Amino acid sequence: MTTARKLQIVHLDTGQELRGGQRQLFLLARGLRQRGHTQLIVCPEGSEAEAQARQEGFAVFALPAHDPAHAHGILQLRQHLQAAPFEILHAHDGRGQTLAWLASLGMRVRRVASRRVAFLPRGPSSHRLKYAYTCHAVVAVSDFIRQLLVRAGVPESKIEVIPDGIDVPAELPTAEARLRIRAQWGCGEGEFVIGHLGAFTSEKGQNVALDAFVRLMAKLPHARLLLAGDGPTRTSRAITDKVARAQGRAQLCGAIENLGEFFPALDLFVMPSRSEGLGSSALWAMAYGLPVLASNVGGLPEIVVEGETGWLVPPDSAAALAEAIHIAASDRARRSQLGQNARARARQFSADIMWERTEALYYRLLPG
User: For 64-79, what is each residue's pLDDT tens digit?
Assistant: 999 888 889 999 999 9
**Measured distance CA(8)–CA(38) in Å, rounded:** 5
Cα 118 to Cα 32, 278, 315: the distances in Å are: 27, 8, 14
Residue whose C-alpha is closest to residue 283's, from 265, 298, 302, 267: 302
CA atoms of 160 and 178, how far apart (whole Å): 39
Q: Which region holds residue 231: left if phi is over 0, alpha if psi is between -120 and 50, else beta?
A: left
Is residue 23 situated within a structural domain?
Answer: yes
Phi, psi dihedral angles at 96 (to 5 degrees): -60, -35
227 and 294 assigned to the same domain: yes
**180 and 306, same domain (yes or no):** yes
| Euclidean distance between CA atoms 360 and 138, whole angstroms | 14
Cα dihedral 356/301/174/353 (nearest 10): 0
Task: Clarify whether residues 336 and 357 are in a common domain.
Answer: no
- Contact criterion met (CB below 8 Å) for 229 and 296: no
Mean pLDDT of 39-62: 97
357 and 303 in a single domain? The answer is no
> pLDDT value at position 1?
44
DSSP letter for each residue of 95-140: HHHHHHHHHHTTSSPEEEEEE---S--S-HHHHHHHHHHS-SEEEE
Same domain, 95 and 210: no
pLDDT tens-place string over residues 175-199: 999 999 999 999 999 999 999 999 9
pLDDT for 127 equals 63
Residue 144 and residue 199 in one domain: no
| CATH number for position 23 | 3.40.50.2000
Sign of CA dihedral 192, 243, 325, 315: negative
Taking only the tens place, the pLDDT of each residue in 229-268 is 999 999 999 999 999 999 999 999 999 989 999 999 999 9
Please provide the distance, in angstroms rounded to a whole number, between the alpha carbons at the two ends of the chain.
Answer: 21
3 inside domain: no
Confidence of residue 2 (pLDDT cuts 50, 70, 90): very low
The pLDDT value recorded for residue 131 is 74
- Asked if residue 259 belongs to a domain, the reply is yes
Sequence-ordered strand ranges (E) for 162-207: 192-197
Label residue 69 left, alpha or beta by phi (over 0 means left) and psi (-120 to 50 means alpha): left
**Residue 1 belongs to some domain of the structure:** no
Provide the number of structural domains found in the chain.
Answer: 2
Render pLDDT for 17-33 as a digit per residue (tens, 0 to 9).
988 899 999 999 999 99
Which residue, among 299, 228, 217, has the nearest Cα to 269 in the 3D structure? 228
Same domain, 78 and 181: no
Residues 76 and 133 in one domain: yes
Residues 51, 195, single domain; the answer is no
Residue-level pLDDT at 132: 73
**Do residue 263 and residue 133 come from a single domain?**
no
Q: Specify if 135 maps to a domain.
A: yes
116-173: pLDDT as tens digits: 887 765 665 666 677 777 899 999 999 999 999 998 888 899 999 999 999 999 999 9
pLDDT digits (tens, 9 = 90+) for 296-340: 999 999 999 999 999 999 999 999 999 999 999 999 999 999 999
Please give the Cα distance from 295 to 95 (Å, whole number): 28
Contact 249, 210 (CB under 8 A): no
Please tell me the pTM assigned to this model. Answer: 0.92
Helices (H), the chain: 20-34, 48-55, 71-83, 94-104, 124-133, 143-151, 175-184, 206-216, 237-245, 280-287, 318-329, 332-346, 351-365
Domain membership of residue 39 (yes or no) is: yes
The verdict on 37 and 179 lying in the same domain is no
Nearest-CA neighbor of 270 among 250, 242, 244?
A: 250
Q: Assess whether 157 and 193 both reside in one domain.
A: no
Burial class (CB in 10 A: 0-12, 13-18, 19+), 308: middle
Output 124 or 221, whichever has higher pLDDT: 221
- pLDDT (mean) for 287-292: 98
Residue-wise DSSP of 246-283: TTTSEEEEE--S-GGGTGGG-SEEEE--SS-SS-HHHH
Confidence at residue 3, expressed as pLDDT on a 0 to 100 scale: 58
pLDDT at 95 over 80: yes
Domain span at residue 96? 8-165+350-365
